Amino acid sequence: MFKVSTKDARDTLYLLEMEIEGERMLKIGITSKKFEERLQSIAMSIYSKHRYVPWIRPKRIRKVDNALVKEQKLLEYFKEYKFETEKQWGGYTETVQLELDLVVEVYEKVLRGEELAEDGEVCWCGKIKKFEVDGEKCCGHKHKEPAV
């Protein structure tokens, strides 16, 4: 009997919607374990820092080839939206604060192997308008340019 290396196996690429201390965020991650085990380890890690079990809602869970490459592509694409916290927990570096529907759209594009918009006009807030909402380019935040 032989054991298949996780490098050869299809790992799970997941997207979780979470709320910790009133802050909504999305966690992008991979696991070669059962997804339920990974979910438990995330919850316990957060509990050890915050002393409560967080609200966590799985949004996407898929077995994929090259999961690490896809995860890194997503994290790089969303680096401007990284969640910042002083109470660090296992996996906090893979969390972003952005509209769920925009992250899901990009997640699906990455899985389909589609190209992602990397550049574009810069919003007044300083972020690149690389998303589209209601037919208009936007930075991902639901804000309007201030009146001049």
From first to last of its 148 residues, the chain has per-residue pLDDT tens of: 444 444 545 799 999 999 988 889 999 999 999 999 999 999 999 898 888 888 999 999 999 999 999 999 999 999 989 998 888 888 889 999 999 999 999 999 999 999 887 777 888 888 888 888 788 888 887 666 666 5
Q: Which residues of 50-68 are buried (b: 16+ CB within 10 A; e: fewer)?
A: eeeebeeeeebebebeebe
Q: Is 26:16 a contact under the CB 8 Å cutoff?
A: yes
pTM for the model: 0.83
- Residue 3 is predicted with a pLDDT of 45
Cα(76)–Cα(2) distance, rounded to whole angstroms? 35
Q: Are strands 11-20 and 55-64 parallel, antiparallel or unpaired?
A: antiparallel
Cα(129)–Cα(123) distance, rounded to whole angstroms? 6
Nearest to 139 by CA among 90, 107, 4, 130: 130
